[in-house]
């Protein structure tokens, strides 16, 4: 599908500088632009590419003023926020690539399942008893939705997503390939001989609206009650969220984060990749956790934390600077010890 510069400016409340009738049918990074492509420039670090790009249209901020000649084939669309506007166009483009409503065969849909309107269900999907699926959903091939689970309107489940029994996924959610929602929590009790017995996990997982979960994540069902992923949470690939965790609204975590059981994560928390959070603690709203940090205890006041165990980032930087000086300090101590020995030896003489 093609869009002209004038149409793009209309969508984004922008202003055209160049040919309003030039059309694009593809998206490209500014440094990789080709004729017929749309790009954007928001970071000044990439400004050099706008003078050589092959793209036909580039979205820029109103404040952008070229310092040398632009390509004659390039038309600018000036907007208030180039990055946000390009993201809006990406969303429009993505919505156009959704699967047409169809139920592919073979797949299994239980007679008691309730399916909304305008649904795409891919081949080899399994939809169990008493499942409820809202309208405009995209259920890709090999998805499994077990009995009594529910999926809200406009939600997309990519291939091989598994939604275990009794779990609930809200509206406008995206769950990427291979993710498992509602697997058993890691609950075992040792007997007097140290042999572990499994503790049944009879709770569920509740995912609220507008959540996105990356590929190959595991979100465990609660032992009792629910594991909660609240509205607007964003989870990257390969994350593990244990039983009875509660991740509050609009929190984001990067890849390979692990959260142990019954931890309570506040609103608008940012968690860097490969961070580990111990169980049965709370993290204050708006806390920021730097990548590869370890959180062993409750964080009562919002801060930016770094290290294992994590401490305020400025304290960590000062500590790290001192740590880097340790080899030199150790050598200095050895030198002083040797000098002291010589002085004592000479004194004895």
| Range 96-104 average pLDDT | 87
Question: What does the pLDDT read at residue 248?
Answer: 98
Among the ranges given (13-22, 95-104, 153-162), the one the predictor scored with the smallest mean pLDDT:
95-104
Q: What is the reported pLDDT for 21?
A: 96
Q: What is the pLDDT of residue 167?
A: 98
Tokens read off for 168:
């609930």
* Mean per-residue pLDDT, 48-70: 95
Burial class (CB in 10 A: 0-12, 13-18, 19+), 9: buried
Dihedrals phi, psi of 115, to nearest 5 degrees: -115, 130
Q: Among candidates 209, 206, 263, 265, which has minimal Cα distance to 232?
A: 209
What are the angstrom distances between the C-alpha of 11 and each of 14, 15, 48, 88, 242? 8, 11, 27, 9, 42
- C-beta neighbour count of 66 within 10 angstroms: 13
Query: Given a cut of 80, is residue 97 above it in pLDDT?
Result: no
Which listed residue (243, 250, 280, 320) is catalytic? 243
Lowest mean pLDDT among 33-42, 85-94, 223-232: 85-94
pLDDT single digits (tens) 182-225: 999 999 999 999 999 999 999 999 999 999 999 999 999 999 99
- The residue among 223, 232, 305 whose CA lies nearest residue 261 is 223
> Which residues on adjacent β-strands are paired with residue 60?
41, 78
Q: Does residue 321 have a pLDDT over 90? A: no
Q: Inform me whether the pLDDT recorded for 349 exceeds 70.
A: no
243 part of the active site = yes
Over residues 47-62, the mean pLDDT reads 96
Would you say residue 241 has pLDDT above 70? yes
pTM of the model: 0.85
Residue 54 above 80 pLDDT? yes
d(CA 323, CA 325): 5
Q: 13-44 b/e with 16+ CB inside 10 Å = b?
A: ebebbbbeebbbeeebebeebeebbbbbbbee
Q: Match 């529910």 to its residue by tokens.
A: 150
Taking residues 147-172, what's their average pLDDT?
98
What is the overall mean pLDDT for the chain? 95
Average pLDDT score over residue span 49-73: 95
Least confident of 83-87, 108-112, 221-225: 83-87
Mean pLDDT value of segment 160-185: 98
Per-residue confidence (pLDDT) for residue 348, from 0 to 100:
63
Sign of CA dihedral 48, 38, 42, 234: negative
Highest mean pLDDT among 24-28, 93-97, 209-213: 209-213
Q: How many CB atoms lie within 10 A of CB 169?
A: 28
């Amino acid at each position: 599908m093609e869009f002209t510069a004038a149409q793009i400016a209309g969508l984004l409340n922008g202003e055209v500088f160049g040919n309003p009738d030039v059309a694009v049918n593809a998206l490209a990074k500014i440094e990789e632009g080709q004729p017929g492509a749309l790009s954007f420039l928001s970071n000044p670090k990439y400004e050099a590419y706008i003078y050589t790009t092959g793209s036909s249209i580039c979205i820029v901020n109103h404040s952008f003023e070229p310092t040398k000649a632009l390509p004659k084939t390039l038309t600018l669309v000036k907007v208030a926020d180039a990055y946000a506007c390009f993201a809006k166009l990406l969303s429009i483009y993505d919505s156009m690539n959704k699967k047409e409503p169809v139920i592919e065969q073979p797949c299994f849909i239980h007679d008691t399942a309730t399916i909304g309107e305008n649904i795409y269900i891919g081949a080899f999907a399994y939809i169990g008893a008493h499942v409820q699926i809202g309208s405009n959903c995209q259920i890709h091939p090999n998805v499994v939705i077990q009995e009594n689970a529910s999926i809200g309107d406009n939600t997309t489940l990519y291939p091989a997503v598994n939604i275990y029994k009794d779990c609930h996924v809200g509206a406008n959610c995206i769950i990427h390939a291979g993710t498992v929602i509602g697997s058993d929590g890691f609950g075992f009790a040792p007997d007097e001989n140290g042999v572990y017995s499994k503790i049944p996990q009879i709770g569920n997982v509740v995912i609220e609206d507008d959540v996105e979960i990356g590929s190959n994540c595991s979100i465990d069902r609660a032992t009792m009650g629910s594991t909660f992923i609240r509205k607007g949470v964003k989870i990257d690939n390969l994350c593990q969220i244990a039983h009875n965790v509660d991740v509050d609204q609009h929190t984001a975590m990067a890849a390979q984060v692990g959260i142990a059981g019954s931890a309570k994560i506040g609103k608008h928390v940012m968690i860097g990749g490969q961070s580990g959070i111990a169980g049965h603690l709370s993290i204050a709203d708006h806390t920021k956790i730097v990548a590869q940090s370890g959180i062993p205890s409750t964080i009562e006041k919002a801060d930016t934390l770094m290290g294992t165990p994590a401490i305020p980032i400025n304290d960590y930087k000062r500590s790290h600077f001192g740590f880097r000086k340790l080899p030199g300090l150790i050598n200095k101590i050895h030198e002083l010890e040797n000098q002291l020995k010589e002085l004592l030896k000479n004194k004895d003489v």
